[in-house]
């Protein structure tokens, strides 16, 4: 006879894994260059800082004064040229340097680039949905392998698992829709 704690452990593990899939998707699409400035676009760029690669957010403050502009203010004046070089390299953009301040102006997206971003968005969303369904399949197998549990109880647990799966797939769908709207509305 399987204990209720076994069942809850299966659900807890499944929910944790599904949440990780949604979080991963959210982080992947956060860095999309949509023409709208976001600190996410530059904060993790690795900058050569005194011989080691440091994320930009650890060596400078990042602000968004306008919807298409990012302003970076290094805490160390000596890092300005390395930050400028990293931005050129990683984002293929030309930042302008004014003393200790680096400005990055994002050009508007072309229609072709928007469509490309939407295709990539849908591909990443589908990967997230597949990951969630794989978690469901693993949990379903564990539920069906439980000892001493009746058919009705298994059916009830599988329904509960499906509701959990639907919740996380809907979260992916909503994130995807919102990002698509953002890409197409600029």
**Confidence (pLDDT) at 89:** 86
Sequential pLDDT tens for the chain (186 residues): 456 778 899 999 999 999 999 999 998 888 776 767 888 888 888 999 888 899 999 999 999 998 889 999 999 998 999 999 998 888 778 899 999 999 999 888 888 888 888 999 999 999 999 999 999 999 999 999 988 888 999 999 999 999 999 999 999 999 999 999 988 886
CATH code of the domain made up of 4-31+110-184: 1.10.132.20
Question: Do residues 30 and 183 touch, judged by C-beta distance below 8 A?
Answer: no
For the chain, the straight-line distance linking the first and the last C-alpha, in angstroms and rounded, comes to: 58
- Calpha distance 69→107 (Å, rounded): 9
CATH topology of domain 39-105: Gyrase A; domain 2 (3.30.1360)
pTM of the model: 0.70
Domain boundaries, the chain: 4-31+110-184, 39-105
**Confidence (pLDDT) at 116:** 86
Question: Do residues 57 and 63 touch, judged by C-beta distance below 8 A?
Answer: no
User: What torsion, rounded to 10 degrees, do the Cα atoms 170, 171, 174, 178 define?
Assistant: -170
């Amino acid at each position: 006879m399987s204990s209720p704690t076994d069942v809850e452990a299966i659900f807890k593990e499944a929910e944790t894994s599904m949440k990780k899939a949604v979080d991963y998707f959210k982080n992947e699409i956060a860095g999309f260059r949509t023409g709208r400035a976001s600190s996410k676009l530059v904060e993790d760029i690795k900058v050569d800082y005194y011989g080691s690669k440091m994320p930009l957010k650890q060596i400078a403050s990042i602000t968004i004064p306008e919807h298409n502009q990012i302003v970076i203010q290094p805490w160390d004046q000596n890092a300005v040229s390395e930050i400028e070089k990293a931005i050129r390299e990683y984002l293929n953009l030309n930042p302008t340097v004014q003393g200790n301040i680096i400005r990055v102006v994002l050009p508007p997206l072309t229609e072709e680039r928007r469509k490309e971003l939407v295709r990539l968005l849908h591909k990443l969303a589908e990967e997230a949905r597949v990951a969630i369904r794989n978690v469901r399949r693993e949990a379903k197998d564990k539920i069906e392998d439980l000892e001493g549990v009746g058919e009705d109880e298994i059916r009830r647990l599988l329904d509960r698992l499906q509701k959990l799966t639907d919740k996380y797939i809907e979260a992916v769908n909503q994130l995807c829709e919102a990002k698509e709207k953002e890409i197409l509305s600029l």
